[in-house]
Amino acid sequence: MSLNIKRPNGTEDVLPKDVYKWHTVEKIARETAESFGFSEIRVPTFENTDLFLRSVGETTDVVQKEMYTVKAKETEFTLRPEGTAGTIRAMLQNGLLNDALPQRVYYILSCFRHERPQAGRLREFHQFGLEMAGSASPAADAEVISLAKTLLDRLGLRNIELYINSIGCPECRSKYQEALKAHFGVHEEELCDTCKERLVKNPMRLLDCKSPICREIGKDAPIITDYLCEECSGHFELLKKYLTGLNIDFKVNPRIVRGLDYYTKTVFEFVTTEIGAQGTVCGGGRYDGLIEQLGGKSVPALGFGMGLERLLLVMDKQGCDFIAPKKCDIYFATMGENALEKAIALSHELREFGYFAEFDLMGRGLKAQMKYANKIGAAFTAVIGDNELENGSVRLKDMEKGEEIEIALDEKFRNSFESIYFNKMMDSLEDGDVLAAFGTGKEND
């Protein structure tokens, strides 16, 4: 009977055979963030709906069309569509901002948005993201962008363009909003229904519309960089200088306004053209007003979110290396109850010392056990039967070379195994195969 309940549209299963790819990205993301002074934070999967209305913004696509809102008893909650709102809420609620600034946190979490599923656009997806609170300096913007770039580089990604823009502060933006209203107002009748509303409530959102007609009208709209106040344009100039100093290539794209409402000054995106239309792998920026808006002090802050499914799509496309999953070091093939008991004890001891040991749990015959050992890529096998138990010795087989060495099946077994194992590693090193020796080589090794 086949299962007729399938996973919901726009969600994915990550199978054991593929999970090492996620582990690679997560490990390198953690190490990179920590090397920039960020610590991990973990926040709830759902929050009070109001939190997202007040931070992400009521006129955004996310809030208007994409939120998963659930009613439980009398209370309404929303599954987080992004990580910033919950993270800032947690920082405020737990008094993190009263501690030494800047506060730097990162997270790896799932996000939920009700969108039309397609390659690189899911309803449950995952983000690696981070937030830095306390610094208004453009050096902090450069730091956060440099972190994202470092991570992309360490993952081996190529041809990912960095676009930056400044969308100013509320002051310079109000003049710009007027200019946008004038521009789009002429075409009001042609705009999509959402944009008609945006024209009144939040004209900058017009530039983020995905409808082809609104996009066309937006093509020759005024650009924000012509409206920046002295403070905002000075900030932007310094950011560009720092990025140049770091040898980070970027392009200024005055059309980037970002999908969420809370941004001020710097916004940025890392984009690839290699995975189709959903090419933005990372988006972020500064949101100096958000913390105050959520009831905290006025604390400048910034951050980014990186879509892990999109990142993995590009890594696969570009043939990037992943950290290979650890393989079985030793497989005990057993014949009979006494041999099984011995294998249980030896495996336990070896695992205590960090080795990956396995034995048969399926009652297979010897031939089938050896076939299984081959299949899982065991480095060594040892066949234990009544003879071996009687003689007190066992033949350890190097599965790659086919060589066998006889070792005592007594309390020295682990020591003997360790020295043979060590020699094999040293041989691989001499062959120049350093990465394979330590199980950190390429996927195909």
CB-nearest residue to ligand ATP: 307
The pair of structure tokens assigned to 56 is 């992400």
Among 122, 130, 209, 301, binds ligand ATP (CB under 6 A): 122
The pair of structure tokens assigned to 414 is 């682990």
The pair of structure tokens assigned to 154 is 């360490």
As a whole number of angstroms, the distance between CA 360 and CA 348 comes to 14
The pair of structure tokens assigned to 306 is 């990186």
| Strand stretches in 19-143, DSSP E | 39-40, 46-48, 68-72, 75-79, 103-112, 124-133
CB of 250 to ligand ATP, least distance (A): 16
Our CB check for Mg ion shows the closer of 300 and 305 to be 305
Our CB check for ligand ATP shows the closer of 128 and 176 to be 128
CB of 49 to Mg ion, least distance (A): 18
275 binds, among ligand ATP, Mg ion, none (CB under 5 to 8 A by kind): none
Window 66 to 95, contacts with ligand ATP (CB under 6 A) = 82
Query: Does the bond joining 16 to the residue before it have cis omega, within 30 degrees of 0?
Result: no
* Cβ atoms of residues 97 and 297 within 8 Å: yes
Q: Mention every residue, 6+ apart, whose C-beta is less than 8 A from residue 49.
A: 67, 69, 76, 77, 78
Considering only the stretches 16-24, 102-110, 301-309, 362-370, report the one whose residues sit in contact with ligand ATP under the rule CB under 6 A.
Answer: 301-309
Q: Can residue 218 be called a binding residue for ligand ATP (CB under 6 A)? A: no
CB of 61 to Mg ion, least distance (A): 6
CB of 32 to ligand ATP, least distance (A): 17
> Degrees (nearest 5) of the Cα angle 95, 101, 102?
110
Instruction: Give CB contacts under 8 A, 24+ apart, made by 76-79.
Output: 76/48, 76/49, 77/46, 77/47, 77/48, 77/49, 78/46, 78/47, 78/48, 78/49, 78/51, 78/52, 79/45, 79/46, 79/112
Q: Can residue 307 be called a binding residue for ligand ATP (CB under 6 A)? A: yes
Among 48, 59, 137, 278, binds ligand ATP (CB under 6 A): 278
Considering only the stretches 241-249, 277-285, 398-406, 429-437, report the one whose residues sit in contact with ligand ATP under the rule CB under 6 A.
Answer: 277-285
CB of 210 to ligand ATP, least distance (A): 8
Window 247 to 276, contacts with Mg ion (CB under 5 A) = 259
Binding mask 280-299 for ligand ATP (x = CB under 6 A): xxxx----------------
Q: How many residues bind Mg ion (CB under 5 A)?
A: 1
Our CB check for ligand ATP shows the closer of 257 and 299 to be 257
Residue with tokens 């730097």: 104
**DSSP reduced 3-state for 267:** strand
> Degrees (nearest 5) of the Cα angle 406, 408, 411?
150
The pair of structure tokens assigned to 266 is 């710097």
CB of 68 to Mg ion, least distance (A): 14
Window 94 to 113, contacts with ligand ATP (CB under 6 A) = 113
Q: Can residue 205 be called a binding residue for ligand ATP (CB under 6 A)? A: no
300 binds, among ligand ATP, Mg ion, none (CB under 5 to 8 A by kind): none
CB of 247 to Mg ion, least distance (A): 31
CB of 218 to Mg ion, least distance (A): 17
What is the three-state SS of 107-171? Answer: EEEEEECCCCCECCECCEEEEEEEEEECCCCHHHHHHHHHHHHHHHHHCCCCCCEEEEEECCCHH
CB of 190 to ligand ATP, least distance (A): 22
Q: 241, 251, 309, 32: which is closest to 148 by C-alpha?
A: 32
Considering only the stretches 21-29, 194-202, 221-229, 273-281, report the one whose residues sit in contact with ligand ATP under the rule CB under 6 A.
Answer: 273-281
Q: Can residue 334 be called a binding residue for ligand ATP (CB under 6 A)? A: no
Distances in Å between the Cα of 313 and the Cα atoms of 33, 114, 270, 304, 325 are 22, 21, 14, 19, 19
Residue with tokens 């990162």: 106
Our CB check for Mg ion shows the closer of 69 and 391 to be 69
Distances in Å between the Cα of 309 and the Cα atoms of 84, 120, 271, 313, 314 are 19, 6, 14, 6, 9
Our CB check for Mg ion shows the closer of 109 and 133 to be 109
Window 232 to 271, contacts with ligand ATP (CB under 6 A) = 259-260
332 binds, among ligand ATP, Mg ion, none (CB under 5 to 8 A by kind): none
CB of 60 to Mg ion, least distance (A): 9
Q: 427, 416, 423: which is closest to 353 by C-alpha?
A: 416
285 binds, among Mg ion, ligand ATP, none (CB under 5 to 8 A by kind): none
Binding residues for ligand ATP (CB under 6 A): 82, 113, 115, 120-122, 125, 127, 259-260, 278, 280-283, 305, 307, 309-310
Binding residues for Mg ion (CB under 5 A): 259
